Amino acid sequence: MILYSLFSVSCFFTFLISGLASLFFVILKPSLFCSVVLTSDFKDFFKGLFLIAWLLSSGEVNASYAEFGVDSSLSKMIGGLITLVYLLIGIAVSGIVYSEISKTFKNG
């Protein structure tokens, strides 16, 4: 039980520090934030990724979720967001692997 509460506290502080770092980035470097996040190419990329993720997700609703007011459209939206997270993780891991492999061949 102590290990679980220690893990919960460490996760809380990790999220807190990440949130504060993001907030300071937006406040202290607004020009950099606006140039990266608010470009139309950036928005179109995420809209396209979400469209793919939304199309891949199903709108299936179990009886246990129906009692909480979840309908098929909400289920499809949640499934699309979860699939989008998986796609973004896959893109990040692919970028890391590509970077490491290209660095190995460049130095090697």
Structure tokens belonging to residue 16: 């807190």
The answer for residues whose C-beta is within 8 angstroms of residue 59's C-beta and 6 or more apart is 72, 73, 75, 76, 79
Return the percent helix, strand and coil in the chain, to nearest 5. Answer: 85, 0, 15
Our measurement of the distance from residue 70's CA atom to the centroid of its chain's CA atoms, rounded to an integer in Å, reads 22
Q: What is the pLDDT along the chain (108 residues), one digit of tens a residue?
A: 555 677 777 878 888 888 887 777 667 666 665 665 556 677 788 888 888 888 888 888 888 878 888 888 888 888 888 888 898 899 899 999 999 999 888 875
∠ CA 67-71-76, nearest 5°, is 130
CA distance 58 to 52: 12
For the whole prediction, is pTM greater than 0.75? Answer: no
